[in-house]
Structure 1
């Protein structure tokens, strides 16, 4: 049978793909005889032959890392993939890209497949509060760096964390609007059940408190379904938020969006309401994707220094892979506010 994959063999034998990989590579010392027999029977029955690329991955003749992002529908993650790949290629590594939609089960499946194919290091970008679903893979030797996620209590000691200071970034965005005279502000996001978004919301609230404004001054719009992150629909989420919030009697004049695509959607929603971003309302994004400067009006945003972050991420992961470091490193990188034309002084009245 041609085209048979390691995962089909694993399914036929009732085991994981990594167990099949262990059999193929002679790592059977701790395996139950019955399990070994089932795998060997499935290999023979399906006439499975490992492909050359998989053999190269397992033997280490080429070096590969995995990159698991929420969704490249958000250009920020595509930009990260480009930066990381350029750095990796210069050092003799290749990058495999996976979109997880922040689904723990999907992330685990990707991790198992990557490990089974000989990939020994992964950059995980979902920023979920817990990575317990990935812990079994770490125990089996997978090296991991959490990107855009600060270290959390209960994280495995081997986990490295590289992140921009999300709270500081949101504070910069909110203070900018306050300095322009805005007093009715809104924070727009999908679900805030991720570490990075919680930190951005915390920064938004901290800036309001610092300015002496009560909690009613800051509206929080998590989305129609607060359990959905909206990674693929960020622009439409922002548009819906603007339509809803601008129809209120106490409509905000300033918006802090969870990312640039969401901010672009807010600008469009304001236009739907007959208002103009940068004149009638002010909008600040987060990330500084390429579209931010090309959009009309050009978007005020919080810049994540992607080249620096990607470089630190790769170096940490390579050190873990090549030097076998056990203790992970936690690094917090400063963001920068980039002021463009989507923000302006608050309207009078």
Structure 2
């Protein structure tokens, strides 16, 4: 292993003080000649000098690191979000620590503390549970010494920068499309008990039915967490119903339903039409390609990082809440009702 080169060693070789070398390598204003600047950078490059970020942070009071908490890193949507956020943070000169809460609210609090003690300059938070009693989380958020941007899932009771898609509109668009294709018995498999996003998607489903003059049949509303295994179990209720179409409120839910349906000899769209949500995973694993509500992860991460950079530049600015519009991507999983 090569020995780490220090500022003192570079300073000794060029015959200048460590303070002068530090100013040049950190691009700080100084009265050092162009020749000496060139020599310092030449030696630093030759010796593969790596700045000590910990020492630098003691002076600047910035670690140039940010933290991200997601509920399920195995989800294609959240892994794609993490990747996009990391790339955009890196472009802004920040490293991103990515953590996973496993969808457990207590882990949100633990990870907030962990990341703050690691000295991050700010936090991106996708909360585990938006609808239960969030007293502990709210208290923790209220005492955070760094900015927090809530992404995708938000807690209404806490005021901070937030960016999310219009989940109610997404549920409405998915259900309306199935209705337009002639389906009247449409199952909705949704995580409405633990997430506000699920509740909003369910509200969109109900609005589309109501506008079509259909009575709401709650037996067609099936609860499932955003895990393939949970949807696999929930599929029994769909198969036992008289539904001809399904609104699967996440790609993970869609994958669980498809797995169980395939085992039972059911095919999409021959036996059931399906609209999924996220447009992030199913095409790579199943045929036919799923019609889906797309949440553009690049757009979501762009706004999240933009809000964070704005907040870091000026901590006193008013909080912003941005609601983005999803899109219906039509593929091959919906057939006209028979």
- TM-score surpassing 0.5? yes
Post-superposition Cα deviations, 1:25-54, rounded to whole Å, max 9, x if no partner, equal xxxxxxxxxxxxxxxxxxxxxxxxxxx776
> What's 2:158 paired with?
155
Q: Return the alpha-carbon distance in structure 1 between the equivalents of residues 121 and 62 of structure 2.
A: 13
Q: CA deviation at 1:217?
A: 7.3
Q: CA deviation at 1:284?
A: 1.0
Unaligned runs of 5+ in 1: 1-51, 224-229
> What's 1:241 paired with?
234
8 Å Cα contact 2:251/2:281 also seen in 1:
no
- 1:295 aligned onto 2:286: yes
Q: CA deviation at 1:221?
A: 0.7
Residue 343 (structure 1) aligned to one of 322, 331, 334:
334
Unaligned runs of 5+ in 2: 1-51
Q: Return the alpha-carbon distance in structure 1 between the equivalents of residues 219 and 168 of structure 2.
A: 16
Q: CA deviation at 1:273?
A: 2.5
How do 1:326-337 and structure 2 match up within 5 A? 326-337=317-328
Q: Return the alpha-carbon distance in structure 2 between the equivalents of residues 109 and 197 of structure 1.
A: 25
- 1:209 aligned onto 2:213: no
Q: Return the alpha-carbon distance in structure 2 between the equivalents of residues 119 and 304 of structure 1.
A: 28
Change (3 A) 1:56 1:206: farther
In terms of mean alpha carbon deviation, does 210-219 or 95-104 score higher? 210-219
Q: Return the alpha-carbon distance in structure 1 between the equivalents of residues 173 and 290 of structure 2.
A: 15
Change (3 A) 1:338 1:298: same
Residue 311 (structure 2) aligned to one of 320, 325, 333:
320
Q: Return the alpha-carbon distance in structure 1 between the equivalents of residues 153 and 141 of structure 2.
A: 19
Q: Which has the larger radius of gyration?
A: 2
Q: CA deviation at 1:191?
A: 4.7
How do 1:10-159 and structure 2 match up within 5 A? 60=61, 62-126=63-127, 128-129=130-131, 132=135, 133-149=137-153, 152=156, 154-156=157-159, 159=160
8 Å Cα contact 1:208/1:218 also seen in 2:
no
Post-superposition Cα deviations, 1:85-135, rounded to whole Å, max 9, x if no partner, equal 111111101111111123222111111111112113111112614654144
8 Å Cα contact 1:111/1:134 also seen in 2:
no
8 Å Cα contact 2:295/2:327 also seen in 1:
yes
Q: CA deviation at 1:63?
A: 0.7
8 Å Cα contact 2:54/2:63 also seen in 1:
no
Q: Return the alpha-carbon distance in structure 2 between the equivalents of residues 57 and 134 of structure 1.
A: 28
Change (3 A) 1:151 1:115: closer
8 Å Cα contact 1:185/1:217 also seen in 2:
no
Q: Return the alpha-carbon distance in structure 2 between the equivalents of residues 123 and 61 of structure 1.
A: 17
Q: CA deviation at 1:79?
A: 0.2
8 Å Cα contact 2:248/2:254 also seen in 1:
yes
Q: Return the alpha-carbon distance in structure 2 between the equivalents of residues 115 and 199 of structure 1.
A: 31
- Match of 1:314, SS state, is helix
In terms of mean alpha carbon deviation, does 322-331 or 80-89 score higher? 322-331
Q: CA deviation at 1:209?
A: 0.5
TM-score normalised according to structure 1 size? 0.75
TM-score normalised according to structure 2 size? 0.77
Q: CA deviation at 1:195?
A: 1.4
